[in-house]
């Protein structure tokens, strides 16, 4: 049996524990995407939100430039996987599901909460595309800074978030003699979750 019937509640408990023990970025996750023909790529991103009970769609939210490599791959093929690994607590979580764009108002609210420098960076960086020199990036930052002065910096139309709506969540806990504990939650077609244990 699982520790709870709600994988989001279990995730919250494990994340709270990780935040107390991890020296940096407990919310860092390895996000794997793939091209339409199945070529995978993975990189670290930061989790920025987890939906609570009663949300229209429950999932795990992160933000990016939609014109970046990962953004383009997700828009072409929304099937993704994400992994959290916390050495401090000897636990990890694997998530598989579909990444769906967040509503514009949700992206606006998060973008407004970012530091001014980060908002400038969202405009200045052509993320994932070739950079001819560091000077070119610094010049772009200066131009964006000058253009907006001390006024508001709106969210770029190509910068937004994705919500990973999970189909499968696996919780892994280190145990002696490598006999690790593995619990998997499978999203049930009619709602709710089916759980099972896996051999380590």
Check 129, 178, 182, 194 and give the catalytic one: 178
Distance CA 42, CA 125 (A): 20
What confidence tens digit (pLDDT) does each residue in 10-42 have? 999 999 999 999 989 999 999 999 998 899 999
Q: What is the pLDDT of residue 16?
A: 96
Q: How many domains does the chain have?
A: 1
Provide the residue range defining the domain that includes 25.
7-114+158-198
Q: Establish if 138 belongs to a structural domain.
A: no
Q: What are the tens digits of pLDDT across the range 123-158?
A: 999 999 999 999 999 999 999 999 998 889 999 999
Block residue for tokens 């145990």: 175
What would the pLDDT profile of 72-127 be if each residue is shown by its tens digit?
Answer: 999 999 999 999 999 999 999 999 999 999 999 999 999 999 999 999 999 999 99
pLDDT in tens, 153-175: 999 999 999 999 999 999 999 99
Q: What local confidence, expressed as pLDDT, does residue 39 receive?
A: 94
For residue 36, what is the domain's CATH number? 2.30.110.10
Within-domain flag for 135: no
The reply to whether 150 falls in a domain is: no
139 falls within a domain = no
pLDDT of residue 3: 63
Specify the long-range contacts of residues 16-24, CB closer than 8 Å, at least 24 apart.
17/86, 17/89, 17/91, 18/84, 18/86, 18/88, 18/89, 18/91, 21/86, 21/88, 21/89, 22/86, 22/87, 22/88, 23/88
> Rounded to an integer, what distance in angstroms lies between the CA atom of residue 18 and that of residue 23?
9
- Does position 1 have pLDDT exceeding 50, yes or no? no
The DSSP bridge partners found for residue 97 are 80, 166
Domain assignment present for residue 120? The answer is no
First to last CA, the chain: 16
- 66 phi, psi to nearest 5 deg: -65, -15
CA geometry: angle 130, 26, 112, nearest 5 deg = 60
The yes-or-no verdict on residue 70 having pLDDT over 50 is yes
Confirm whether pTM is higher than 0.85.
yes
Domain assignment present for 123? no
Q: Which residues are within 8 A (CB) of 117 and not within 5 positions of it... i.e. 6 or more apart?
A: none
* Residue 151 maps to a domain: no
Rg (Cα) of the chain, in Å, rounded?
19
Query: What is the torsion angle, in degrees rounded to the nearest 10, for the CA atoms of residue 6, residue 174, residue 165 and residue 15?
Result: 70
Active site residue 178: yes
HSE, CB side, 13 Å, CA atoms: give it for residue 131.
Answer: 13
In a domain, 144, yes or no: no
Secondary structure (3-state) at 95: strand
At residue 2 the predicted structure's pLDDT band, cuts being 50, 70 and 90, is low
């Amino acid at each position: 049996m699982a520790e709870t019937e709600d994988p989001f509640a279990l995730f919250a408990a494990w994340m709270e524990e990780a935040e107390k023990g991890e020296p940096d970025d407990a919310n860092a996750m390895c996000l794997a995407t793939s091209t339409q023909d199945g070529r995978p790529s993975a990189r670290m991103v930061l989790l920025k939100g987890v939906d609570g009970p009663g949300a229209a769609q429950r999932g795990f939210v992160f933000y990016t430039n939609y014109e970046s490599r990962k953004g383009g791959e997700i828009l072409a093929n929304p099937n993704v996987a994400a992994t959290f690994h916390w050495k401090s607590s000897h636990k990890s979580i694997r998530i598989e599901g579909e990444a769906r764009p967040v509503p514009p108002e949700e992206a606006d609210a998060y973008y407004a909460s970012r530091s001014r420098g980060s908002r400038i960076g969202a405009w200045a960086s052509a993320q994932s595309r070739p950079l001819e020199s560091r000077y070119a990036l610094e010049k772009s930052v200066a131009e964006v800074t000058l253009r907006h002065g001390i006024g508001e910096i709106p969210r770029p139309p190509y910068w937004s978030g994705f919500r990973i709506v999970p189909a499968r969540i696996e919780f892994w806990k280190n145990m002696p003699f490598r006999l690790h504990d593995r619990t998997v939650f499978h999203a049930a077609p009619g709602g709710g979750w089916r759980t099972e244990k896996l051999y380590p």
